[in-house]
């Protein structure tokens, strides 16, 4: 099959420079095809709404074999911004789907019922699962149908998330609301005494373009100026003067956040796929689409009645923590967390080039020169082996960011060329930023499962339009 053609301007417009975007507006099309006339963006006064905590899913059945859940995939009408109603797609009716809480070693089954008029499927991002349960792009749930996914949870405690991954439409579906948290609690980490219960809060950042009527516009990523925090624009969140664990997820389709606090300290304790060896003091955290940062913030020295603001370097304030009450604090932030698994020696090295191929007025999104073809296997990997992959961003001359996400397993970042390694590269990762013209060297072990899995840029407008490839793990 051929690649999907994109206009060069639409790609340039995905990049965060005002000039390319403005230029692109004049004559180009958005990822969904013809772009509607430019509408006035909705402006949002800050800190008018409380940040909701996504509901935790209740199991429909619990047996010796594990926990079973059911989630309905359906349209929803939500008040993302005070006073206007927005039509969205949803898992269970919210902007953030119900949080599924699994436990290491105890299997979970989730049945997703598709009540949309289009096909869907579900991928557990960061999950170490069988190929049949991975939400391969061609493995779809038709309208009216349901599918049960099996998640064995044979992995460390981690902040995972689930989202739509259906061929070509994953970008639009995920943008319109198909995303939720899946947290794995690990009994081996209980003794650390990290904040739990209502002091362990997942926070999903997404960005949307809304017109003044509240309509969700499927257009240029650069026009998505409204940042939603658990589905509310610029909310506040009342906290007690004590330690909290916040699981930050960049679930935005395409973009990078650099988050910092206006006072106090963020301690990063985990990245994509589990805890770090030790907490790291982070003046700011940079993470791109699909990445997670698990942090502890201690509000105990913040006077009651005052606030701490979390801001993005380019989009400004996103969330205000209001310290509203004194509190005892039994939670700990130990100086040692968990050592990373040993890296077995690599027996194979591969190169992965991400980029656009431009010709005159159009472009094709490719990995190693070819757009995604679900019928083609790009890499064949022997189960149980360890490999080093060098991932290149070939779009240096266009200044286009990419990132890289590997299904089925997790990796460690070994090094970079063209950009320094940062604490953002630490820990067990499944998604990593690859700035223009640079490369990332990573190492992964492909254990346990065989079959076909994808890897791709997690800027979903890129992957949906071809910047995705397929590996087959063989016995
Ligand atoms: Cu988060 Cu292949 O996806
Ligand atoms: Cu994934
Ligand atoms: Cu990309």
In this structure, which residue's CA is closest to atom 1 in ligand 1?
125
In this structure, which residue's CA is closest to atom 3 in ligand 1?
125
Contact criterion met (CB below 8 Å) for 346 and 388? yes
pLDDT value at residue 294:
98
Distances (CA, A) of 309 to 45, 202, 268, 312: 15, 17, 17, 10
Contact 405 CB / ligand 1 (< 6 Å):
yes
φ, ψ (nearest 5 deg) of residue 219: -135, -130
Q: What is the pTM of this model?
A: 0.93
* Token digits of residue 175: 């943008």
pLDDT value at residue 249:
99
Contact 179 CB / ligand 1 (< 6 Å):
no
User: From ligand 3's centre to the CA of 406, what distance in Å?
Assistant: 13
pLDDT value at residue 442:
98
Beta pairing partners, 388: 349, 443
* Token digits of residue 43: 């402006």
Query: In order along the chain (475 residues), what is the average pLDDT of each group of 10 residues?
Result: 40 38 31 48 89 98 97 98 96 98 98 98 98 98 98 98 97 98 98 98 98 95 96 98 98 98 97 98 98 98 98 97 97 98 97 92 92 98 98 96 98 97 98 98 98 98 96 98
Contact criterion met (CB below 8 Å) for 388 and 442? yes
The ligand minimizing its distance to the Cα of 410 is: 2
Interacting residues of 190 by C-beta distance below 8 A, sequence separation 6+: none
Contact 163 CB / ligand 1 (< 6 Å):
yes
Contact 136 CB / ligand 1 (< 6 Å):
no
The ligand minimizing its distance to the Cα of 291 is: 1
φ, ψ (nearest 5 deg) of residue 191: -65, -15
Contact 156 CB / ligand 1 (< 6 Å):
no
User: From ligand 2's centre to the CA of 10, what distance in Å?
Assistant: 25
Contact 456 CB / ligand 1 (< 6 Å):
yes
Contact 165 CB / ligand 1 (< 6 Å):
yes
User: From ligand 2's centre to the CA of 291, what distance in Å?
Assistant: 10
Hey, is 49 helix, strand or coil? coil
Ligand 1 atom with minimal separation from the 125 CA: 1
CATH second-level architecture of 61-188? Sandwich (2.60)
User: From ligand 2's centre to the CA of 406, what distance in Å?
Assistant: 6
Ligand 1 atom with minimal separation from the 161 CA: 1
pLDDT value at residue 238:
98
User: From ligand 1's centre to the CA of 257, what distance in Å?
Assistant: 18
User: From ligand 3's centre to the CA of 353, what distance in Å?
Assistant: 11
Ligand 1 atom with minimal separation from the 431 CA: 1
Specify the domain boundaries for CATH 2.60.40.420 within the chain: 61-188, 197-326, 348-474
Interacting residues of 196 by C-beta distance below 8 A, sequence separation 6+: 245, 331
Ligand 1 atom with minimal separation from the 407 CA: 2
Contact 123 CB / ligand 1 (< 6 Å):
yes
The top-level CATH class assigned to 348-474 is: mainly beta
pLDDT value at residue 25:
29
Contact 290 CB / ligand 1 (< 6 Å):
yes
* Token digits of residue 25: 């507006």
197-326 has which fold? Answer: Immunoglobulin-like (2.60.40)
pLDDT value at residue 38:
54
User: From ligand 3's centre to the CA of 362, what distance in Å?
Assistant: 16
User: From ligand 1's centre to the CA of 7, what distance in Å?
Assistant: 24
Ligand 1 atom with minimal separation from the 163 CA: 1
Distances (CA, A) of 140 to 70, 168, 375, 437: 17, 12, 15, 35
User: From ligand 2's centre to the CA of 161, what distance in Å?
Assistant: 9
pLDDT value at residue 9:
43
Contact criterion met (CB below 8 Å) for 370 and 376? yes
Contact criterion met (CB below 8 Å) for 154 and 448? yes
């Amino acid at each position: 099959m051929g690649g999907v053609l994109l206009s060069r301007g639409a790609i340039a417009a995905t990049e965060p420079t005002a000039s390319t975007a403005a230029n692109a507006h004049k004559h180009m099309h958005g990822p969904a095809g013809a772009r509607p006339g430019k509408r006035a963006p909705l402006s949002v006064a800050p800190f008018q709404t409380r940040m909701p905590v996504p509901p935790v899913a209740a199991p429909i059945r619990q047996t010796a074999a594990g926990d079973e859940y059911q989630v309905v995939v359906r349209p929803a009408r939500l008040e993302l911004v005070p006073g206007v109603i927005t039509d969205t797609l949803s898992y269970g009716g919210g902007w953030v789907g119900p949080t599924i809480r699994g436990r290491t070693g105890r299997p979970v089954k989730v049945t997703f019922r598709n009540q949309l008029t289009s096909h869907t499927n579900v991928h557990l991002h960061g999950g170490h699962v069988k190929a049949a349960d991975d939400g391969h792009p061609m493995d779809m749930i038709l309208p009216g149908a349901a599918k049960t996914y099996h998640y064995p949870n044979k992995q460390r405690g981690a902040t995972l998330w689930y989202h739509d991954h259906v061929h070509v439409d994953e970008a639009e579906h995920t943008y319109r609301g198909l995303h939720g948290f899946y947290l794995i609690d690990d009994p081996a980490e209980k003794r650390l005494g990290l904040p739990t219960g209502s002091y362990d809060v997942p926070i999903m950042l997404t960005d949307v373009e809304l017109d003044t009527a509240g309509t969700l516009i499927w257009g240029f990523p650069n026009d998505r100026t409204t940042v939603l925090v658990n589905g509310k624009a610029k909310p506040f969140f009342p906290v007690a003067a004590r330690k909290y664990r916040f699981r930050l997820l960049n679930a935005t389709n395409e973009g990078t956040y650099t988050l910092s606090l206006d006072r106090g300290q963020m301690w990063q304790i985990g990245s994509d796929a589990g805890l770090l060896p030790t907490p790291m003091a982070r003046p700011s955290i940079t993470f791109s689409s699909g990445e997670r940062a698990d942090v502890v913030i201690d509000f105990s020295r913040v006077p009651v009645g005052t606030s701490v603001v979390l801001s993005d370097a380019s989009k400004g304030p996103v969330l205000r923590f209001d310290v509203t009450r004194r509190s005892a604090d039994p939670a700990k932030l130990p100086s040692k967390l968990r050592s990373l698994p040993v890296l077995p020696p690599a027996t194979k090295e591969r190169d992965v080039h991400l980029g656009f191929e431009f010709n005159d007025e159009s472009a094709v999104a490719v990995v190693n020169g070819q757009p995604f073809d679900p019928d083609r296997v790009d890499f064949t990997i022997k189960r149980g082996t360890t490999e080093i992959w060098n991932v290149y961003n070939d779009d240096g001359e266009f200044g286009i960011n990419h990132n890289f996400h590997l299904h089925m397993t997790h990796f460690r970042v070994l090094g970079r060329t063209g950009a320094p390694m940062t604490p953002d590269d630490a820990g067990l990762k499944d998604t990593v930023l690859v700035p223009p013209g640079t490369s990332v060297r990573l190492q992964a072990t492909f254990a346990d499962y065989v079959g076909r899995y994808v890897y791709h840029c997690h800027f979903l407008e890129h992957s949906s339009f071809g910047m995705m490839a397929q590996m087959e793990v063989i016995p």
